[in-house]
Amino acid sequence: MDEIKLETPLEKIKGIGPKFLVKLKHFNIATVKDLLWHFPNRYEDFSNIFKIVDLQINQHATVRGEIQSIKMRRTWKRKMFIIEALISDDTGSIRAIWFNQKFLIMMLKKGKMVNLAGKVAEAPKGGLIMNHPIHEIITSSKENGDLRHTGRVVPIYPETKGITSKGIRYLLKPLLDKIGKIEESLPEEILKKYGVLGIDKAIKLVHFPEKIDDAILAKKRFAFEDLFFLSLANIRQRIKLDKEKAYSSDFELDDIKELLAKLPFELTFSQKKSLWEILQDIKKSHPMNRLLQGDVGSGKTIVAVLTALVLAKDGKQSAFMAPTEVLARQHFETFKKFFADFDKGAGLMTGSMAKVFYGDGLENDFKKNDLTKKVGNNEIKIVFGTHALIQKYVKFSDLALVIIDEQHRFGVRQRAELFKNHGAKEMLPHLLSMSATPIPRTLTLAVFGDLDLSIIDELPKNRKAIITKIVDPKNRDKAYAFIRGQVKKGRQVFVICPRIEPTSESQEIENQNTTESIKKSFFHNWDNVKMVKEEYEKLSKKVFPDLRVLMLHGKMKAKEKNETMTRFNNRETDILVSTSVIEVGVDVPNATIMMIEDADKFGLAQLYQFRGRVGRGEHQSFCFLLTESSSKITHERLKSLIDAKNGFELAEKDLAIRGPGEFLGTSAGWAQTGVPDMAMKAIKNPTLVKDSRKAAEELLSNDSELERYPIVRKRLESFQEEIHLE
């Protein structure tokens, strides 16, 4: 094969065996482009080749020398093969050790010249040693040759069992030499104006940079490209929506005053402002597309419900979709409490229940089919629910508003499903997305750039600040005693654990090629993580055998979860041991203690959500952060939760510390947004986000249909498919 193209399947590339192809598919790597776009996640600078005499302890370096001896032995205790080699140059010697790599005995023969790259350590019996260094055989002590693994800036890739960074580098180097010219998707004027590398240069430098600065420039190019096309997609989506038709409400101000008079409290200024912005949107004849952000407990739900009530008075329907049954039911119950005289029909539809409320306490259980018929006949004006609302058999008669709570927890495909069966075919429903997770400004601009934004940045009056403490493990008994005291006063307690039960991860690691230090680190970090089932057994049988302790986690059946939360809401439970399933929206005013085990395993924004489950009533509330970690960085991060004035300030700190991929405590947290990894990582760079947005706006202002930029248009279409942007 002379010239290799991006779309060339890897099975047609000489030198890649069938077993390795199967392993590559675990990373969804099937074509040349897939492999080239499998970017390094970090780099090791081994570009300087040192004489052995000049090496320093803890230094990361490359050395070059001749193999004086190499031998293999087996440990009796762990049955592990250890390869030990002695390498020397004209200034001294250094030992190298590898674990469970028997093949090295056949490769690294005495007398061969070799480069070793790794961290220099002091050997137990004196002298220098490298543990598990990268090795590369060379033909002459003076010849650098075509170095891929040592003597240069070395790319380190995401790995899995059977796929190493060295293996990926081995494949990539010849591919980059043979690849034809890659089509440039960014206009020349944008490359020049914003100092962005061309694609051909960037793809080579991202994998094999001459210096670290080259890698930074290359990654900037790919991040800029993803952010640029994300901005193009968002802006064009907004333009497209502005051309669509939606129901225009002609409400009167007196209608709003009448609704507000029914509430047992006064809205805050932020709530009033946000409500007014939303009401102005539903007066327009094109669809609203707005994100309502609010701190934990700031009262977003009531603002959304008031909007639905305005449309219900016009005879229009609203769908309110929540991420969990617990939350959907809670919204339904809150609605009944505040608007007991609502007689136009409110429904609840989840995977396990269907209910209808007609006002004045008239609530009935329904079969799903019967509730679906009432929705289809416009007998139900407001429907609360979960994913059940997007089933094909649910067809609305006249849907004018879609409200999505914690919208980032739904995939874009799920959000789009609600728009398909809305009844009024010539119109689109208004969309109000809500998020209690404070989202940093740069993240909002990049990911939700097609949405208008309303922010509720103040809490209801008379809310007491939650007292938050980092609890040392040795003071655990004091925390338990405090909990007992609160329960005696009639209060309730949440205890949060990171996992449900033990996993086989530690066993998997045991079977991999790894050093003792790595194993110990892994076991320390994960085997000691608190698990819900284990913690429930301990608290219910040993610590608080006289108290009412229940357990809640995501693997329980919906009916069990609902029954557990109902008992907790009705004060039939003192302590609820749970996973992060209670993270969002759960409202139990009588709960005054949030105890979070292994708090360092969660993101700051997630911890903030947990803490927001308490402090919703009249009593003083407390949050205890327990951690086994002695790391100064960990304690500083947890302290920022105590110091932050609000969730938005905390979100900016969390973004800076952990990055957007970890913003919710899990890399999968933002996966459903469809945003490419490179763009997500770049969100920590506000200048790059703003520049890419500005470039997209400039391009579309001159050519909204991209007629003069066919390559950009083609790339945008494929990009939208890749990120599933409906």
pLDDT tens readout for residues 250-280: 999 999 999 999 998 999 999 999 999 999 9
The pLDDT value given to residue 696:
95
Contact assessment for residue 363 and residue 244, using Cβ atoms and an 8 Å cutoff: no
In the predicted structure, residue 515 carries a pLDDT above the cut 70: no
* DSSP E strand stretches across 112-160: 113-122, 128-131, 134-138, 153-156
The pLDDT value given to residue 603:
81
The pLDDT value given to residue 599:
92
User: How confident is the model over 67-95, as a mean pLDDT?
Assistant: 90
The pLDDT value given to residue 189:
95
The pLDDT value given to residue 550:
95
Measured CA to CA, the distance from residue 574 to residue 490 in angstroms comes to 8
Helix 325-338 × helix 558-569 angle, to 10°: 40
Neighbours of 107 (CB within 10 A): 12
Banded pLDDT at 662 (limits 50, 70, 90):
very low
In the predicted structure, residue 444 carries a pLDDT above the cut 50: yes
Neighbours of 611 (CB within 10 A): 24
User: How confident is the model over 577-604, as a mean pLDDT?
Assistant: 85
In the predicted structure, residue 59 carries a pLDDT above the cut 80: yes
In the predicted structure, residue 22 carries a pLDDT above the cut 80: yes
Give the N- to C-terminal CA distance of the chain in Å, as an integer.
Answer: 39
Residue type, 238: R
Proportion of the chain above pLDDT 70, given as a percent:
84
Proportion of the chain above pLDDT 90, given as a percent:
46
pLDDT digits (tens, 9 = 90+) for 675-719: 566 666 666 778 888 999 999 999 999 898 999 999 999 999 888
Give the containing element (helix H, strand E) for 714. Answer: helix 710-722
The pLDDT value given to residue 512:
36
The pLDDT value given to residue 649:
74
Phi (first) and psi of residue 366, to 5 degrees: -125, 160
Measured CA to CA, the distance from residue 238 to residue 551 in angstroms comes to 44
In the predicted structure, residue 568 carries a pLDDT above the cut 70: yes
Residue predicted with more confidence, 425 or 494: 494
The pLDDT value given to residue 326:
82
- Give me the chain's average pLDDT, please: 84
The pLDDT value given to residue 654:
67
Token pair, residue 11, equals: 């099975």
Burial 125-148 (b: 16+ CB within 10 A, else e): eeebbbbbbbbbebeeeeeeeebb
pLDDT digits (tens, 9 = 90+) for 545-558: 999 999 998 888 87
The pLDDT value given to residue 212:
94
User: How confident is the model over 96-109, as a mean pLDDT?
Assistant: 89
In the predicted structure, residue 527 carries a pLDDT above the cut 50: no
Contact assessment for residue 383 and residue 349, using Cβ atoms and an 8 Å cutoff: yes
Q: Taking the alpha carbons of 150, 154, 156, 162 in that order, is the dihedral positive or negative?
A: negative
pLDDT digits (tens, 9 = 90+) for 278-323: 999 999 999 999 999 887 778 899 999 999 999 999 999 999 999 8
Q: Which of the listed ranges 204-208, 385-389, 447-451, 656-660 does the model predict with the highest average pLDDT?
A: 204-208
Measured CA to CA, the distance from residue 142 to residue 15 in angstroms comes to 29
Banded pLDDT at 506 (limits 50, 70, 90):
very low
Q: How far is CA 214 from the centre of its chain?
A: 28
In the predicted structure, residue 605 carries a pLDDT above the cut 80: no
The pLDDT value given to residue 680:
64
The pLDDT value given to residue 174:
86
User: How confident is the model over 465-486, as a mean pLDDT?
Assistant: 93
Contact assessment for residue 492 and residue 575, using Cβ atoms and an 8 Å cutoff: yes
Residue predicted with more confidence, 296 or 56: 56
Phi (first) and psi of residue 593, to 5 degrees: -125, 130
pLDDT digits (tens, 9 = 90+) for 182-213: 999 999 999 999 999 999 999 999 999 999 99
Token pair, residue 496, equals: 């949060």
Banded pLDDT at 140 (limits 50, 70, 90):
low
Phi (first) and psi of residue 511, to 5 degrees: -85, -10
pLDDT digits (tens, 9 = 90+) for 221-240: 999 999 999 899 889 888 88
Where do the domains of the chain lie, and which CATH numbers do they carry?
Answer: 48-151 (2.40.50.140), 253-456 (3.40.50.300), 467-645 (3.40.50.300)
Question: Residues 6 or more apart from 367 whose CB is under 8 A from it?
Answer: 354
Token pair, residue 137, equals: 């055989």
What is the pairing mode between strands 452-456 and 492-496? unpaired
Which SS3 state, helix, strand or coil, does residue 435 take? Answer: strand
